[in-house]
Chains A and B, each alone.
Chain A
């Protein structure tokens, strides 16, 4: 299992080495990976249909309870099949779509990385690894959206998508950690048994809120929806993959997954219904006003995601069933429409629906796929979309007092979506063919077969719902609803209100399509509201954030060493002073003190003289030399108290420090005052304060009872365990050898820093 998930990362890691191969014929071999994974997951389908689930556990950080726990149940397998299935088709499609592209190898690298992250996300049982894969999808989608990296708009969209989803990711992490802390486990299946306890906990609201922000940002819910239309700057295969079946569905997956654990409360349901319904209506209306095929599809995707959030929010068995089916319905028709948009764009060079028409005469198979997808989207019988739409209406109609309002919202949304589907799937293919398109010819089969397969499945599943009922829909339903009644989906429900609503939707949608002609004037009307759009607000926030960061950095990181030292010392002084203010127990046990020896007196006197010289000398060289004397006297103290190793090291270090100082100071102008008197007094006061605080601290440490356990252990075991008699050295190279290893690495980094800073500056001066 872990191999299946990581294989995408492995392939991504290999792409730089086989780039020539990929750019040649080799790209045709790449779809084998997702297809292999698809077959692998497909082989589990039968057992899962019978109600089994699979667990796979691999230890990672067992001490923190973080492991690679994978859980394969209905919900996970639905997503895994979508990811690998649509992945196979997208991989195939790309071989022609981006044929000969300069960065084709990179593209496949990003794509397989994304696929692997998505698989990890839906299969993870541990909520921390789930979060890690969640972030990996954000990062890999950033690369995919910004794939056309020489286009500034594309880069901006990628950054916007990353910042929104990344922001949500942070909230999600907080939510997960809180959940794990309260539930006492990071394993989802273990948390599930704590469900009632978590729901009654005082922090429940926080957990739900944090997880919601994560899910809403990822799944482009209002008011975080605006990154998704921008992400359409990506090549079409990416849009297909990210926005039909995977990336944006991650939020939906999260909500569906957490429904049995956190769902069912008023906070959960009301928020989801509210956000979901606002999103679905708002985005559906927007999709009507667009003229770019991708723009239409983007907003209809947001709207569909709104529907899913809304259905999960309703939380009834009927609505969760509808959500499960709609995920599949939407993935099938939306992926088809995106792929078709790609073909149209690829062949004609435009995606403007006001220009495109009559393409069925030259792109027949594409037109068939588009028609099938548009019909499934429209919810026309006998397509799978019809079943999906019926289930949605059934769910809203059964929802108590609010049934009326919710149903109207659903109908409005569906009418607009139907219109959008017709606009993108039918409009470009009917009517008369403009003369400049007559010379078009059908692209390579690797491009038009994938949409045809997806659209065909939409029809097949509609005609024979039993194909998916037992194998997929039932397990998906059982992983969202524990102990639910067995589900049954069918095409024909008899004459009832639901059928009436379906027909009403169809009629209204077709009428709308007849009346409203897409035009750029309609679209320009929406631009007036740009001022108060969430995107504008977000950008203002971003600018403010940047300005603040610049101000803050300028304040603290101003490049003057003295300011850094003042900040550090001042902060420490305040912190320590506050601690000491709270009460300090100072006393010196005079009985324990040994008599003063003559050496100690002499050394102390030397120190005082050295300090006075350092501070008051007018010559810098004298100051540095007296600082050296100061260091040597400390060496003497170490020697008296039997620490020869320390003394030796201190002696060499002090020698080198003096040399370094002399080297630097030698080049400064002599007898020039760089600081005013006021500054010197301020620095003096600060140093006196800091010095006395350290002295008090030292005394306080002395008055604490001493724990000698560690030093006794080292002293006793140095020879026995490490065959050394010099304890200090044994600690350095053996007991704490790892620390030393890291320390010398830090030293090397520091040296490289000094070297590159000085040498680079020299080079830039030489250039001038």
Chain B
């Protein structure tokens, strides 16, 4: 599938799709979207890139094994869930900064949790797909 058009398109598609996935992740709390869908979109972006340029190219691009995103994401989700414990609230209580941050909007522990989900989903999807396409 290494056609010129696909190859050229994929180099532009990758950053666009990843940006789009972050956008989806950030708007999740108010409009359709969220960490899960965002993560899936980001992984599709990388899969498209790997189809067009070959797996090795994509791997070089990412620099590290996508599997490392899984523990990182899990930790972020867990920490954002456990953070309320430090101010003597129960596990997973939603905490919010008082003022919205420009561009991103309201920031709270739920957003970090969603970011954790986002990373885990990218890690899981890419690990599975990369492993299968490598071995078969």
Q: Could you tell me which A residues sit within 8 Å of B by CB distance?
A: 644-645, 648-649, 652-653, 655-656, 659-660, 663-664, 666-667, 721-726, 728-730, 732-734, 737-738, 740-741, 744-745, 747-748, 750-752, 754-755, 758-759, 761-762
Contacts and interface: CB of A to CB of B under 8 A. Distances in A.
A728 B40 contact: no
Given A649-B40, A734-B94, A751 B30 contact: no
Contacts of A730: 29, 110
Contacts of A755: 67, 127-128, 131
Nearest to B51: A659
Main secondary structure of the interface of A (DSSP, over half): helix
B78 A725 contact: no
A750 B124 contact: yes
Given A725-B29, A734-B110, A652 B40 contact: yes
Interface in B87-110: 91-92, 94, 96, 106, 108, 110
Interface in B9-59: 24, 28-37, 40-41, 43-44, 47, 51
Nearest to B130: A755
A733 B36 CA distance: 10
Given A664-B132, A726-B29, A744-B74, A733 B124 contact: no
Given A652-B40, A723-B96, A729-B28, 9 more contacts: A645-B32, A645-B33, A659-B47, A659-B51, A660-B128, A726-B29, A728-B34, A733-B35, A747-B121
Nearest to B77: A741
A744 B32 contact: no
Interface centre among B51, B70, B91, B106 (most CB of A within 10 A): B70
Nearest to B21: A652
Main secondary structure of the interface of B (DSSP, over half): helix
A653 B41 CA distance: 9
A7 to B, nearest CB: 28
Contact of A748 (B24, B74, B96, B134): B74
Interface centre among B116, B129, B131 (most CB of A within 10 A): B131
A751 B70 CA distance: 9
B110 A726 contact: no
A726 B28 contact: yes
A751 B132 contact: no
Contacts of B127: 751-752, 754-755
B135 interface: yes
Given A644-B32, A748-B124, A667 B136 contact: yes
A726 B44 contact: no
Interface centre among A751, A752, A754 (most CB of B within 10 A): A751
30 contacts: A645-B37, A648-B24, A649-B40, A652-B37, A652-B44, A653-B40, A656-B43, A656-B47, A660-B129, A660-B132, A664-B136, A667-B136, A722-B94, A724-B29, A724-B110, A726-B29, A728-B34, A729-B33, A732-B36, A733-B35, A733-B113, A740-B117, A744-B116, A747-B124, A750-B124, A751-B123, A751-B128, A752-B127, A754-B132, A762-B135
A734 B92 contact: yes
A740 B24 CA distance: 18
Interface centre among A721, A733, A745, A761 (most CB of B within 10 A): A733
A649 B36 contact: yes
B135 A748 contact: no
Given A645-B32, A733-B110, A721 B94 contact: yes
A751 B132 CA distance: 11
A648 B44 contact: no
A575 B5 CA distance: 54
B78 A741 contact: yes
A664 B69 CA distance: 24
B37 A744 contact: no
Contacts of A660: 128-129, 132
B56 to A, nearest CB: 16
A92 B12 CA distance: 75
B129 A659 contact: yes
A744 B73 contact: yes
Contacts of B3: none
B37 A733 contact: no
